[in-house]
Structure 1
Amino acid sequence: MLPQSQVVGPQDPRRHEVEQFIADVYRKRYGASLHAFLPHLLAFRDGQGQLVAAVGMRVGSEGPLFVEQYLDEPAQALLSHREIACVGRDRIAEIGNFAATTPGVARELIVRLTDMLHAARVRWVLFAATQQLRNTLDRLHLVTVDLGEASPGRLTGDASQWGSYYQARPKVVCGNVAAGRAFLHQALKQDARPRTDSDPSLQVMVGAQ
């Protein structure tokens, strides 16, 4: 298990360090140059205090979601119209800025993230996922629902900052937090988590920005 986790807000003095860690991972993987990040960052450090993983979060009640740029209507309306769920924005969150140094650390981050979202009473999570990541989630038996293409043409900002990311064919997907958490914890109890050590897609789960 990872020895230390911390939630870093916009005004936290550790903010720049965590943002730089995320930006470095994205630059190495996609040639991206990120300058904007989700408001809440969950950061993990090893026993020496070095950053090993981070992920960004935003709840729908805090304002527009980055992934809503890719959608034709607000997230809660789309979930309702698609007969996926009828929930308020305070029960919807997006995740992104996902970066980790190893697949093993990434798995731990996913477990901690689902715990945190569940504790915050978030019921549905949205994010953009590449084809590679979607395949990985399938192998982990984490069910997601396809909500549409994550097209760079929808972005209000400069899409070039994402480097080669959009060549990885990202889609906006959503998942049920409680269901995902239950499966992950059951797998942990059985010591039977699916192995993904050879799968590099867990090292960077990007797209929710």
Structure 2
Amino acid sequence: MLYTMSNSQMHEITSTERYQDYSDRFISHQPLSNKHTLNEHSVNPKFLGQKKFNFDIQVAAHGGEQRNEIEQFIKQGFFKSYQAKVSVTMPHLLALCNGTYKAALGIRSGRDDLFIEQYLLGPVEQQPVFVQNNIHRKDIVEIGHLFSNNQRFTLPLFMITAVSLFYMNYKYMVFSGTEKVVNIMAKSGVHCTHLCDAHENKIQTSTDHWGSYYATNPKVIAVSLSDVIALIAKHPTYQVMFQSLDKQIAQTCQQLT
């Protein structure tokens, strides 16, 4: 059967092929980068949970099949954790599911206005870490509304998101994270660059009610996606996770396009 391919479809295939090359390097144990060294003892594998990662990755855009279910999971999670009532407006949602939803977050390109820019003194691309590294706005992506009902799903969700976005040509991920979430990342070897503290009085007027969320001392963080790739390539536990989720992550790259 003959068919034509849209620019979007061509981008999807490119993202998948790039991820497949990355996966092949894992299987052959070829390091992706020798830029970073990692102290094995600084990584705490308990945050990854079991070595068998038996869950599905779901992606939902506005109007998507699972969109409402994932939104409700996030909203209920924020209400249970912080008595917060929030709207979920991110263009894409990514969730881990094992019979029921375990963890989810939203994704927004830097080409749009970012929620975390309310906390900053200027546009995100003007922050020192991005100026110093010649990072443009189109290179930045925001994640938000992260909720996990079990700590062991937090890091897999974060890393799956980071890998997928890296192979879509993004370079940095920014987010507002609770002190607990930032500590999980740091203890697992993820380098977190602090941009600023997240203060509730910076938030523009809306119908959202954040409950006790800001009592968790949230921080606005930037993470280099290439640093995450280097970390995964150097740690066997992380490699096991990505080998087991190989095909699903390639599909995720397509769905996020």
Indicate the SS of the match to 1:94: strand
Per the TM alignment, residue 188 of structure 1 is displaced from its structure 2 partner at its CA by 3.4
Map 1:1-209 → 2, pairs under 5 A: 1-46=53-98, 48=99, 50-61=100-111, 63-79=112-128, 83=132, 85-158=133-206, 161-189=209-237
Q: Which has the higher contact order (CA 8 A, sep 6+)?
A: 2
Q: Which amino acid is 1:88 matched to?
A: H
- Kindly name which structure, 1 or 2, has the bigger radius of gyration based on alpha carbons: 2
Structure 2: gaps spanning 5 or more residues = 1-52, 242-257
Cα offset, 1:37, TM superposition: 2.9
CA distance in 1 between partners of 2:105 and 2:200 (Å): 21
Give, in whole Å, the separation in 1 of the partners of 2:190 and 2:160.
Answer: 15
Determine if contact 2:120/2:196 at 8 Å carries over to the other structure: yes
Scaled by the length of structure 2, the TM-score of the pair is 0.67
Whose helix proportion is higher, 1 or 2? 2
* Alpha-carbon separation, structure 1, partners of 2:181 and 2:70: 23
Q: Are 2:193 and 2:221, in contact at CA under 8 Å, matched by a contact in 1?
A: yes
Count of aligned positions: 189
Q: CA deviation at 1:70?
A: 0.6
Alignment check: 8 A CA contact 1:76 1:89 kept: yes
Between the aligned partners of 1:98 and 1:157, the Cα distance in structure 2 is 21
Give the counterpart letter for 1:15 in structure 2.
R
- Give identity over the alignment, percent: 26
1:11 Cα deviation from its structure 2 partner: 1.7
Match of 2:21 in 1: none
Instruction: Note the aligned Cα RMSD (angstroms).
Output: 2.2
Deviation at 1:157, TM superposition (A): 2.6
| 1:121 to partner: Cα distance | 1.0
CA distance in 1, matches of 2:130, 2:143: 22
Extract unaligned runs of 5+ from structure 1: 194-209
TM-score (norm 1): 0.82
- Tell me the SS of whatever aligns to 1:161: coil
The Cα of 1:111 is off from its aligned counterpart by 2.2
Q: 1:2 touches 1:108 (CA, 8 Å); kept in 2?
A: no
8 Å CA contact retained: 1:25, 1:99: yes
